[in-house]
Amino acid sequence: MNRIHTLFQNKKERVLSIYFTAGFPALEDTLPTMQAIESAGADIIEIGVPYSDPIADGPTIQDSNMIALENGMSLKKLFEQIKDMRQTVSIPVVLMGYLNPIIQYGMESFLKKCQEVGVDGLILPDLPMQQYLDEFKTLFEQYGLSNTFLISPQTSEQRIREIDEHSNGFIYMVSSHSITGAKTGITEAQIAYFKRVQAMNLKNPRLIGFGISDAETFGIASKYSNGAIIGSAFIKKVKDSKDLKTDIYTYIKSVIQ
Q: Write phi, then psi, for 19 (nearest 5 degrees).
A: -100, 135
| Contact criterion met (CB below 8 Å) for 226 and 170 | yes
Residue 202, amino acid = L
The one-letter amino acid at 192:
A
Tell me the sheet residues that pair with 147. 122
Residue numbers annotated as active site: 46, 57
Q: Alpha carbon of 243 to those of 1, 144, 207, 240, 246: distances in Å?
A: 36, 36, 29, 9, 6
Residue 47 to residue 123: CA distance in whole angstroms: 10
